[in-house]
Amino acid sequence: MQQQISLLSLASPWKKTLDPADMERVPKDATLSDLDESALGKDLALQDREGGVVGWIPARKVTQVLWRQWKICHAYYETLLETVDDAITAVDENGKIVSWNHRSEAIFEYPRDEIMGKPITDFFEQDALEVMSVLTEGKGGKGVFRKYHQPSPHVYSLINALPVVMNQRVIGGISVERDITDVVRLNNELSTTTAYIRDLEKQFDEQKAEDPFHKIKGRSEAIRHAVNLAGKVASTEASVLITGESGVGKELFASAIHKAGPRAEGPFIDINCGAIPTPLFESELFGYERGAFTGANKEGKKGKLDAAEGGTLFLDEIGEMPLDLQVKLLRVLQEKRFYRVGGTEPIPLDVRIIAATNRDLEEMIEAGRFREDLYYRLHVVSIRIPPLRERMEDIPELIQLCLNEFSRKYSKPVPELDPEVMYRFINHDWPGNVRQLRNLIERIMILTDGETIRPHHLPSNFTKVEESRVTNPSSLHPPVGDSEEMRIRNALTTTYGNKSAAAKLLGISRATLYNKMRKYHL
């Protein structure tokens, strides 16, 4: 603290009996802090710019004012030292301690009366003292981290230190140290806990990885029935026919059955029967020998059946397979061997077949577009994957999983869903099933920057459903005779506890829902 006191304010009027020759001449507009050491102990004569004397100050008065100012500054200084919550240490140019506040006592456990006036190096190792570094280097340091081992072990401080300079000479140093021992301890505990959590996550992921069906999400009875059936058939070598609409996850089921079965160590090869031109289908499936046809690879080529040796061949969209290829595939499955195009040597077949279709194969058989004998060869066990509209109670979970997935992918925070959006999602037909849902969530995550997904974020072709429309009567509105409590429980389960969405599904206000929840202690 420095208060500028004008010398003129201290001066007495000039008397003719006084002799300025016996005094120290100083400008009348000078302040007390402008005086140098040569002026101390002398009477002062104040003169104007023309050299005329306009007043004087007795030496004793200067001394009294300086003494009072020193006492004021000292009082402020001591109060400041005791007010701050950091440890403050000041040393003179010889490294002797001239200030040691209460926080220094608390952190380093040295009483003030024991340490004051003594070399700081008597108590601490010099290499650990930032305040001694500023004495030797003449420059400060900010944000310096130190770990002390004395007097208490493992004391951590964050230090700011500066030299005290007067007349361009370093006369001491001051350090301000913030005790961050608890911060370091908590950070170490956090690191340990984080490592423990990561280890648990790793174990959890490993356990999930051991379950080939862990990627199939949903808790509805319909999807759980399909998973249970797939789990039973997986351990066998039986052929499996997976049916379901586009986008329900047929390939996901096929892959899980393969991984859970005896051929898990073998390859899983998929072929989309609807994506291969008819003229190329036979060579793609069976492969071909060199010279088999014009434009063929000179060395020949192995087909999908070769590639799936010892594993599983997944025939997706089997209903699109040409009739003549159906005949050849049936023969292969019956004889357990096949011939490459242009080849004469039979090749043993060691492959499990899993087929999938979104078509009604029985209807295609009646229309003469699919062979009945191949159908029964593939149809040892049939698994129907329910469409999303038949398991609407799974939608909130699927939405959350997609939000988490795409928030990581695009480095965005996971947004919340406006109740109206949840209501529209639950009441939508979802002709594209889970694939459509995932694609929509990804689109929204890319284009939305807010914390909440609102109705205007939905694409224009995602039409608003009628308020009275019900998505799953069996789960939201049980048969007549079932209790009101059960209907409310089902609605809350379907919406994963979202009260606004549940109220919409029940056709009641949110306030009414809350009243009924209190009534039934829900």
- As a whole number of angstroms, the distance between CA 350 and CA 334 comes to 12
E strand map for 48-197: 53-57, 87-92, 97-100, 141-148, 155-166, 169-179
For residue 306, name the pLDDT band (cuts at 50, 70, 90): very high
Q: What is the pLDDT of residues 101-139, one digit of tens each?
A: 988 888 888 898 999 999 998 888 877 788 888 888 888
Q: What is the pLDDT of residues 416-425, one digit of tens each?
A: 888 888 888 8
Helix, strand, coil in percent for the chain, rounding step 5: 45, 20, 35
- As a whole number of angstroms, the distance between CA 89 and CA 133 comes to 13
- As a whole number of angstroms, the distance between CA 445 and CA 413 comes to 10
Q: Where are the domains of the chain?
A: 7-67, 85-179, 221-386, 392-522
Q: Which CATH number fits domain 7-67: 3.10.580.10, 3.40.50.620, 3.90.960.10, 3.40.50.980?
A: 3.10.580.10
The tokens for 423 are 């209501």
* 170 has pLDDT over 80: yes
Cβ–Cβ < 8 Å for 91, 173: yes
Class for domain 392-522, per CATH? mainly alpha
* 294 has pLDDT over 80: no
Cβ–Cβ < 8 Å for 350, 338: no
How many other C-beta atoms lie within 10 A of the C-beta of residue 388? Answer: 27
Cβ–Cβ < 8 Å for 402, 438: yes
Q: Which CATH number fits domain 221-386: 3.40.50.300, 3.40.640.10, 3.40.50.620, 2.40.128.20?
A: 3.40.50.300
- As a whole number of angstroms, the distance between CA 99 and CA 115 comes to 9
Place of tokens 């480095």: 411
Architecture category of domain 85-179 in CATH: 2-Layer Sandwich (3.30)
- Residue 297: the pLDDT is 66
pTM (predicted TM-score): 0.56
